[in-house]
Structure 1
Amino acid sequence: MVQKLDYLRIYNQDIRLVSSSEVSNIEAGLIPDIWFELFKEENINDRKEALLNLWKKYVGYELRNTIAYLSEYLEDIEIIECDKVYSILYTVKNPDGDVLYYEGRNPQDEFENSELEKHWDKVPVSLKNFYKNVHNGFYYYASEAMGLVPIASVTYLGDDDLEWSIIDELKEPLQIELNTSFGFFSNGMGSYVVIDTANCENNNATFWSAKVQPKYNINFWSYVDEWIVIGFQA
């Protein structure tokens, strides 16, 4: 426990682990009701199964490989807190025995992304379901990447402060509108899986990078599901 907390505090000095016995004392409304129910389960296997059933309910098809991996390699789940902001910490042990920590943010977090909010009604329902019912982002704790980022960190491609030098190197005309496009997945190295809210029927997406040519008309969930599992195995 001490070793885990020391690691977590490398990236957030004020983070703390909330013991299972403390969860019931969290103020009502600060975490989803289902989290209270989850952490009443004393058996860790029952607790993990209940959480993964939540994933299956909302994105069971879309993130089936991620869920299958977690079903096999998820070691523990705990609540972490900083300034009354709560998340679930996933402890994942990969086939090589390496321990990785992933954070699943609170779906009740405030919506802090003014540009995305303007286009939120156009975002695919399955993606909104994940953010509203499962987690406000699920990602590798140390980098806040290799997963779906929190709403506040979703990249707005039309941001004037961002310079996409790749545009000058495109081999074909740009096929997305930067002013309606948002990167929901980040690999932490300048690449994103992007939803253009003006053209996202059937989860149509673009693999966008500052370094390589974009890949258009990909399936959002197929790429995200594959990349999350790649992160688990890294």
Structure 2
Amino acid sequence: MDKLAFLKQYRKSIGFVSNEDLINIEKENMSEKWIEIFKEADRSRRKDKLISLWNTVCERELSNTISYLKENLLEFELIVDNGQYAVLYSIKSENDEILYYEGGIPTNSVYTSVMQQDWSNVPRSIKEFYEKLHNGFYYLPSRAMGLVPLERITYFEDYEWGILDELDEPLGINIATTYGFFENGMGGYVAIDLNNCIDDVATLWFTDDQPDYNVNFWDIIDEWIVIGLQDN
């Protein structure tokens, strides 16, 4: 099965953007930085520019993820799905399988979603990832094991959490101001309570286990992304 046929199992309307189509993309739909990366014809220099962008945005926060990409990123391509542009990453796992990860291309309206009213209260490092690098970065088939797109962020108040009746200690977050930015696809979330997020403080939340409060958002994200890249 070729790559496009594989992808279409999960996204019926997905397609690749050719170099000819790239020149017609409006800057409102893609930053100049991303256009510059994809216009680079030399594969090695193009990868260097990509890694440089990651380092510019989150070198400290996602150091292990960036290191893994440096060593195991085979190629990356521009894709489009229902008018939304994204980067398709082809990454080698520890089992020598090729894993496809998706990173949404940020636009000026990337955060006008469920987060619209509260976006200004989100920690700066998280906003910079979504605004300057990717609107989510996750395993494409499951849309999990990564930072989800802002339009799919879990607003905790919208859900019935059965675990609330089983907590050993009083609830340590405000459900009404908590958002899950990361999903592992098996009931695990890395969530931010906007009432308590100084220094990127987060909560490791599970649907079937006790939460872990006051963890560092990026430490958990970095660890879990690399686990997914190695073992997915």
Same fold (TM over 0.5): yes
Aligned to 1:212: 209
Aligned to 1:157: 156
How many Å apart are 1:112 and its aligned residue?
4.2
What secondary structure sits across from 1:158 in the alignment?
A: helix
CA RMSD of aligned residues (A): 1.2
Aligned to 2:90: 91
Aligned to 2:165: 168
Aligned to 1:58: 57
What secondary structure sits across from 1:89 in the alignment?
A: strand
Aligned to 1:196: 193
Q: What is the alpha-carbon distance in structure 2 between the residues aligned to residue 61 and residue 28 of structure 1?
A: 28
How many Å apart are 1:101 and its aligned residue?
0.4
Aligned to 2:218: 221
Q: What is the alpha-carbon distance in structure 2 between the residues aligned to residue 117 and residue 69 of structure 1?
A: 33
Q: What is the alpha-carbon distance in structure 1 between the residues aligned to residue 112 and residue 122 of structure 2?
A: 16
Match among 225, 228, 233 for residue 230 of structure 2: 233
Q: Which runs of 4+ in 1 moved over 3 A?
A: none
Q: What is the alpha-carbon distance in structure 2 between the residues aligned to residue 49 and residue 126 of structure 1?
A: 22
Aligned to 1:113: 113
How many Å apart are 1:58 and its aligned residue?
1.2
> What whole-Å deviation, never above 9, does each CA across 1:188-224 have from its counterpart, x for those lacking one?
1111000000000111000001100000010000000
Q: Which runs of 5+ in 2 are unaligned?
A: none
User: Taking every aligned residue pair, what percent have the same amino acid on both sides?
Assistant: 46
Q: What is the alpha-carbon distance in structure 2 between the residues aligned to residue 217 and residue 85 of structure 1?
A: 35
Q: What is the alpha-carbon distance in structure 2 between the residues aligned to residue 90 and residue 72 of structure 1?
A: 13
Q: Greater shift after overlay, 145-154 or 17-26?
A: 17-26
Q: Which runs of 5+ in 1 are unaligned?
A: none
Q: How does 1:108-147 map to 2 (within 5 A)?
A: 108=107, 109-114=109-114, 116-147=115-146
Match among 158, 167, 179 for residue 176 of structure 2: 179
Aligned partners of 1:154 and 1:182 also within 8 Å = yes
Asked if 1:16 is matched to 2:15, the reply is yes
Aligned residues: 230
TM value normalised by structure 2: 0.95
